[in-house]
Amino acid sequence: MVTLPSHVFFTPKRYFWALMQELYSCAVTVTDCGCGMGILLGMADYFKLPMRGVDICHREALSNKIEFIDATTLSWSSSEWPMLCRPSHGQWIGTMIDRVRADGSCMIYIGLPRNVKRDLAGARFVKITTKPVGIDGEHFYVVPSNGFPYWPTIRDALKRVPYLE
Ligand SMILES: C[S@@+](CC[C@H](N)C(=O)[O-])C[C@H]1O[C@@H](n2cnc3c(N)ncnc32)[C@H](O)[C@@H]1O
């Protein structure tokens, strides 16, 4: 297994966790795909939100919950969504989108606005908020599956979350 230097890319604001709490209240749980050092997994524990984290590379981890699995091999559902935070730009994102569509799930993408069109090329996506969710200006996007039945409800619910910071 490849070992990468220790580095955290996405550092969430408190607002990110408000959105996560709202999402989980809609009976959706999230797997952090490409979770790196696992910083979100420890924080999710704090908020009592069960969150899985997978990565194909090893780093000096901040969480012992990381599973070393290729995220493109996993299956998803309307109640278990993958989340990619500041993902390394590559083919695996497109593979994830194809998989999510086939499985009738949605995919969360947390990233910098300048990277969205390249990373989500060809996919329909929705920017959930006007305020950033990360300290570097990352925004919260969702790639909805075609015809996902609960999507409007969840999107409306997420929009009602007040900006906390
Ligand atoms: C730029 S880093 C971001 C790490 C973390 N999300 C953060 O914000 O600090 C991208 C991560 O995606 C992982 N990755 C790339 N392809 C992957 C795949 N197919 N399955 C799981 N993880 C993958 C890399 O190993 C790397 O840790």
Least confident range of 40-44, 123-127, 134-138: 123-127
> Tens digit of pLDDT for each residue in 49-68?
999 999 999 887 667 899 99
Q: In angstroms, what is the span from residue 56 Cα to ligand 1's centroid?
A: 7
Q: In angstroms, what is the span from residue 4 Cα to ligand 1's centroid?
A: 10
DSSP, collapsed to helix, strand or coil, labels residue 67 as strand
Of 11, 7, 22, nearest to 162 (Cα)? Answer: 22
Parallel, antiparallel, or unpaired for β 126-127 and 139-143? antiparallel
What pLDDT score was predicted for residue 114?
95
> Tens digit of pLDDT for each residue in 76-101?
998 899 999 999 988 999 999 999 98
Domains of the chain by residue range: 14-158
Ligand 1 nearest atom to the CA of residue 95, by list position: 19
Q: What's the fold here for domain 14-158? A: Rossmann fold (3.40.50)
CA separation for the pair 123, 111 (Å, rounded) = 15
Rounded to an integer, the average pLDDT of 9-13 is: 97
Of 140, 115, 146, nearest to 126 (Cα)? Answer: 140
* Dihedral of the alpha carbons of 94, 99, 104, 107, in degrees to the nearest 10: -50
Whether the pLDDT of residue 137 is over 80: the answer is: yes
Q: How confident is the model at residue 109 (pLDDT cuts 50, 70, 90)?
A: very high
DSSP, collapsed to helix, strand or coil, labels residue 64 as coil
DSSP, collapsed to helix, strand or coil, labels residue 31 as strand
Q: In angstroms, what is the span from residue 71 Cα to ligand 1's centroid?
A: 9
Pocket test residue of 35, 59, 100 for ligand 1, highest count of atoms within 8 A of CB: 35
User: Does ligand 1 come within 6 angstroms of the Cβ of 142?
Assistant: no
What is the value of pTM for the model shown? 0.92
- The sheet carrying 51-54 orders its strands as 51-54, 29-33, 80-85, 107-111, 139-143, 126-127
